[in-house]
Structure 1
């Protein structure tokens, strides 16, 4: 017997799969395991530096 699954819909249309990375880009470990708060802080700092460089140019 097959299991019945509900299709998640947004505004009446089926939702596309989310485009999320499984591996953390900072520590190269699975995002599902462990605490990635320090990785998030590093990512935010890099983005702030990049924005600062763009505004100087």
Structure 2
């Protein structure tokens, strides 16, 4: 069956694996398990604070 599987190609070349973190940077738990809505909101709030101009 593996001979029938197509490989994903990006601009004619095989696509490399994505470089994503497995662990959540906020709660240090696996991103594949549980709800990370709170973590996402905290991450967004930190990004807003970083973008504010320093006075």
> TM over 0.5: same fold?
yes
* Aligned-CA RMSD value: 1.5
C-alpha offsets along residues 1-54 of structure 1, whole Å, 9 cap, x if unaligned? x833432101211101100000000000000001001000000000101111xx
**Structure 1 runs of 4+ with >2 Å offset:** 2-6
Residue number in structure 2 paired with 1:17:
17
With the length of structure 1 as denominator, give the TM-score of the two structures. Answer: 0.82
Residue number in structure 2 paired with 1:31:
31
Q: Where in structure 1 are there 5+ consecutive unaligned residues?
A: none
Task: After TM superposition, give the deviation of residue 56 of structure 1 in Å.
Answer: 2.3
Across the two proteins, how many residue pairs are aligned to each other? 54
